[in-house]
Each structure stands twice: as C-alpha cells, then as structure tokens.
Amino acid sequence: MHKKTLSDTGGADTAPPAIYLKNIYKSFGAVQANKDIDLHVSAGTIHGIVGENGAGKSTLVSILYGFYTADRGKTEIFGAPVVLRSTADAIAAGIGMVHQHFMLVPNFSVLENIILGHEGSSSLQAGLEKATKELQNIADKYGLQVDLHALVQDLPVGLQQRVEILKALYRGARVLILDEPTGVLTPQETKQLFEILRSLRAQGVTILLITHKLKEIMAVTDNVSVMRGGEMVAHLETQKTSPEQLAELMVGRPVLLTVGYDSAEAGDICLQVEHLSMRDDSGKSCLQDISFSVRRGEIFGIAGVSGNGQSELLEVLAGISALDAGRVVIGTTEISADNPATPAEVKELGLAHIPEDRHAMGLILPFTAAETAMLGYEERGAVSGRSPFLSPDKITRHCAKLMTDFDIRPADPNLKSNLFSGGNQQKIVVAREISAHPDILLVGQPTRGVDIGAIEFIHKQLLALRDAGCAIILVSVELDEILNLSDRIMVMNAGQNMGILVREDADVQKIGLMMAGLENTGNIATSLASEKKGGKHE
C-alpha cells in the first residue's frame, strides 16, 4: 500500500495545495457521514475520489461546495483558510462544481444560464453583452466551444455538461469539482470530457473527480483518494495502483471485478418483439419500430445512454405500458395494441421483472422485508394460505429462505424494507423475482446504487439463471455490465434499435458510436432542427 502521509504544513511543496482539508467531520443525526476526513489536492492536478454509495463522497463534496457546513474541521483553499457556509462562499473561494444532474434552466439560452446569478449589471442586455465577450475568451482558452444562443434543452447531454463547465469557469473557478460526470455520457463523449479535463489541467485548473468507475480513475487522474464508510482509507498515486487494489480498499475485502463468463448454448426463441412502436403521454414517439427475439438460455443486453427508450421498452414488455403498434409474442401469446396485457397476465406467462427504479416499482419501503419478498406473488402456494387469506407463517419462512439463499443482511424478515442498504434491498427484489422460476426475466439497472460486493453476487445469480435455461433481457446504462454478461447486445438511441451485436463483435468503440446514434445522423439532425423551430425563445 502506498499511503501518502499528510503533514499539517503541507510538506516541502512550495505551492500551497488547491484543497486542504483537515479533520472534516459531519453527522446527520446518528449517521456519521464524514469522520475526520483529511484531503490534500495539489494545485494543477486531477484528483479522484472513489468510494461506494454511502461512503460519504457526496457529503464531502457538498461540504466543499457550501451546501452543508461541516460540524468541525479545517478547510484551506490555495493556502487561505476559508469557512464555506453557502454556495456563494464556495464560488467566491474559487470553487466550481459540475453536478451529476445538471443545474441548468432548460428553456433558457446557454448564455442566460451561464450568467445567472453573475449578471454583472441590473440590466440584462448589458450583462449579456459583456458576458459574450468574456465567454469567447474562456472558450478559446480552454477549447470549449458552444453556441451561446442555443436553448439548453436543444443541446445533447455532452454539450450541456460543457455549458456547466463554462459556467463554473465564468464564475471564476480555479478548482472544478465533477460529481459522477460520465453517468449520462457515451464512451466517445466521456473521452472528449477527459480531453477537456486534461486541457483544463494544462491551463492550471485543479480538478476533483468524484466517481465510482475505477476505469475512469485509472484513465485520467494523477492521484486518488478512497473513501469507505465515511472515512478516507487511502491516498494513492494513480500510477502506482490498480483497479483491483482500489476495489479492495473501497469494499474492505478482495472482490472480483468481473465475474467469469462462459458461453452457453441458447435454446428456442421464447420472446419475440416485432415492429414495436410507442408514444409517450405527450404524444412524442419514444419507441420506433423495434424488432428482436430472445432465446432460452441467453442474456440479451440492451445498451444505450439513459433516456433513449430502454425504460419504456422494459415497461411495455412487463405489461406496465401499452404499445401503440407492432406486437410482442411471449411463447404463443400475442400482445398488441388490440390485445393488451396487464402485468399480472404477463407474469402468468412466465415473465418476471426486476424494475429499474426499485424504490418506485420494486418494493414498498415501509413494508417489512417479508412482505416485500412476496409482492406480486401473494397468490402463489409459497406464501398464500387458505384462500382468500395469506399465511403469515409461510410468508416469513419464504423470506427467511430467500435471505439465506441470497445472503441478504441483516437476515430479519420483519425488518422494514427501508432499513436495508441499497444492495440488500436490490437483493430482496432479485431474490423475489428469481425464486418465481421465470422463463423470461426482465432486468433493469440491476446494480444501480448497489455496492461492489452485491454487484458481484447479483451478476453470478443472473449467469446461473441463464445457465438454467431462463431468457434474460438486461437493460443497463453501465456499459461494462452489459459487455460482461450479455450473449447478444442491442444498442438503442432515440427510441430506435441501432443494431444487434453478438458478444464477439461487441467493443466499446463500436457500441459507443451506435449509442450516439451516428448511423442515423440525418434523422437526428432533422429532428433537432424541427424542435428548434417549434421552441419559443423568451
């Protein structure tokens, strides 16, 4: 282990560190989110912070950006002691932040978004004119070109993120914090972002990169700090570490980053989707002419940037939303616009569903684990008593068995669902659906907000289920997850099927281009142009 020692004086370095934190402590009630955090970020470097969900990364960043005030501890920015009581304090200290969910007003222009709060004059027109010149300088200096007069809602996510970076720089940021910046980007956009970060570093900007993706830490950072359970457990030089070592530090025990994949012989077709189309509530087309089929004993992965129709597709297949055109054939049963099916009917056809958003659809937080573990299956023999009554004994026993089989902790069926960690909540849902012995399993974002240990376990379960002959449709925005598990991969963009690749042909580069919709550039350009025409400018 290459633990760097932190000294109070900042060591022999002549330049003061960009960020220096000493004994930062923050608790929320009984929860200690940050326990005596030390951090030393050298000026002009890219510094990564990794940790699992709930490790305290977000709290730490929020303290740095003035959202929360630390209970105690010392903060210095470029050697000057500061007290960050508000976001305004942080901005004044030269800290800028690019949030995971962009803080942009969708129907404002890029320019209006950037000057918001720093208009420089009470007349809007004067402020806009002054900012235009200044922004041109910043854009040239850092190579960040954006159309300042475009409406933010018309820009692709990658450009919106660029607006966020410009906004921070315009406000005078010398330290830029990026919180999970690649979650919504295609691999190519991620590469571009890293290029931007490197050029910012070359211009002397210090960057703090918060992520849970070890690959990204390895790719772009100079130094990395690891958090676990509210504590800083290691400070390392990126060159001298490895993803395996970082994962072990994050989890506290050795973990397998990728589960072993064996190819398997796929069986008969058990689910067919033909020319499926669907419009959302506002009448906008969200799925267009999608066709594919899935065989027994294969994992069919669906890749794409979040919000490109994957969620809608899952909901149609699960019977939650009705389709507008085309058909879905499960076994011999056809589902179409004229012949819709409810989730219960689809379930009877042997389909199970692990929903994307477990809090909204997967479980009911105030229910006990035992109740959660039988939701949707309350009429099956494993839990029901003499009709119409439930059998509390059976319900508890059923849950206790799942808890043993799936290593759910704490193994208490009477504990309320919201008291389990994200990973264990997800395991309850996974256990419930898998234990129904489905022929087809729909899986949405199975490891979102789930700790690395549980990810490994869930991946193994999915592979075992596939080997047992189940057809699995896996939707995930984590491209690595799709690549690790899938036998075939469909890529979606703007509600369309951009193509299906077999595992051997799938590589990040190719999938990334498909995710960006580059095969359909003509279509996308025209749809964007028509949107702009319709959009009103204030």
Partner 1 sequence: MADLWIQFLLTLDATLRVAIPLILCAMAGLFSERSGIIDISLEGKMLMAAFAAGTLAALTGSAIAGLVGAILVSVMFSLIHGFACITHKGNQVISGLAINILASGLTVTLGIAIFAKGGQTPMLSREARFSSIELPFAEAAGAIPFIGPIYKEIISGHNILVWCALIAVWLTGFVIFKTAFGLRLRAVGEKPEAVDTAGISVSGLRYRAVIIAGILCGIAGAYLSIAHGAGFVREMTAGKGYIALAALIFGNWRPVPALAACLMFGFLDAVAARLQGVEVPVIGQIPTDLILVLPYVLTVVLLAGFIGKATPPRAIGRPYVKER
By CB under 8 A, how many residues form the interface with partner 1?
A: 38
279 binds partner 1 (CB under 8 A): no
62 binds partner 1 (CB under 8 A): yes
Query: How far is residue 186's CA from residue 161's CA, in Å, rounded to a whole number?
Result: 13
By beta-carbon proximity to partner 1, the closer residue of 5 and 122 is 122
Query: Residue for token digits 């990564």?
Result: 48
CA-wise closest residue to 190 among 50, 305, 356: 305
Which positions from 378 to 417 touch partner 1 by CB under 8 A, shown as an x/- string? ----------------------------------------
Query: Residue for token digits 């819709």?
Result: 340
Cβ 127 to partner 1 shortest distance, Å: 6
Laid out side by side, the sheet with 488-493 consists of 333-336, 325-330, 269-279, 285-295, 496-502, 488-493, 299-303, 471-475, 440-444, 351-354
59 binds partner 1 (CB under 8 A): yes
15 binds partner 1 (CB under 8 A): no
Q: Which stretch binds partner 1 (CB under 8 A): 13-21, 62-70, 235-243, 458-466?
A: 62-70
A 10 A CB-CB count for 317 gives 24
- Bridge partners of 95, per DSSP, are 175
Structure token pair of residue 95: 């800290």
Which positions from 126 through 185 interact with partner 1, judged by CB under 8 A?
A: 127, 171
91 binds partner 1 (CB under 8 A): yes
Cβ 31 to partner 1 shortest distance, Å: 13
CA distances (Å), 473 to each of 66, 317, 355, 362, 462, in order? 42, 10, 12, 17, 10
104 binds partner 1 (CB under 8 A): yes
By beta-carbon proximity to partner 1, the closer residue of 265 and 538 is 538
501 binds partner 1 (CB under 8 A): no
Query: Beta strands of 12-94 (E only): which ranges?
Result: 19-28, 31-41, 46-51, 72-77, 80-81
For residue 388, is the peptide bond before it cis, meaning its omega torsion is within 30 degrees of 0? yes
DSSP structural state of residue 481: H
Contact 70, 26 (CB under 8 A): yes
Contact 25, 45 (CB under 8 A): no
Residue from the set 7, 69, 121, 509 that interacts with partner 1 by CB under 8 A: 121
Residue from the set 5, 9, 122, 387 that interacts with partner 1 by CB under 8 A: 122
By beta-carbon proximity to partner 1, the closer residue of 67 and 292 is 67
First to last CA, the chain: 57
CA 37, 40, 43, 46 torsion: positive or negative?
negative
Residue partners of 339: CB distance under 8 A and separation at least 6? none
Query: How far is residue 207's CA from residue 174's CA, in Å, rounded to a whole number?
Result: 9
Which positions from 319 through 338 interact with partner 1, judged by CB under 8 A?
A: none
Cβ 385 to partner 1 shortest distance, Å: 42
* Kind and range of the H or E run holding 274: strand 269-279
By beta-carbon proximity to partner 1, the closer residue of 117 and 143 is 117
88 binds partner 1 (CB under 8 A): yes
Q: Which stretch binds partner 1 (CB under 8 A): 36-44, 63-71, 256-264, 352-360?
A: 63-71
Q: Which stretch binds partner 1 (CB under 8 A): 106-114, 129-137, 464-472, 498-506?
A: 106-114
By beta-carbon proximity to partner 1, the closer residue of 62 and 221 is 62
31 binds partner 1 (CB under 8 A): no
3-state secondary structure of 178: strand
7 binds partner 1 (CB under 8 A): no
Residue from the set 34, 42, 58, 425 that interacts with partner 1 by CB under 8 A: 58
DSSP string of 299-355? Answer: EEEEE-STTSSHHHHHHHHTTSS--SEEEEEETTEEEESSS---HHHHHHTTEEEE-
By beta-carbon proximity to partner 1, the closer residue of 179 and 433 is 179
By beta-carbon proximity to partner 1, the closer residue of 25 and 261 is 25
Cβ 84 to partner 1 shortest distance, Å: 11
Residue from the set 45, 53, 107, 199 that interacts with partner 1 by CB under 8 A: 107
Structure token pair of residue 457: 């376990």
86 binds partner 1 (CB under 8 A): yes
Structure token pair of residue 305: 């940037």
By beta-carbon proximity to partner 1, the closer residue of 169 and 442 is 169
90 binds partner 1 (CB under 8 A): yes
Query: How far is residue 171's CA from residue 173's CA, in Å, rounded to a whole number?
Result: 6
211 binds partner 1 (CB under 8 A): no
Q: Which residues bind partner 1 (CB under 8 A)?
A: 58-59, 62, 65-68, 86-92, 97, 99, 101, 103-108, 112-113, 115-119, 121-125, 127, 171, 538
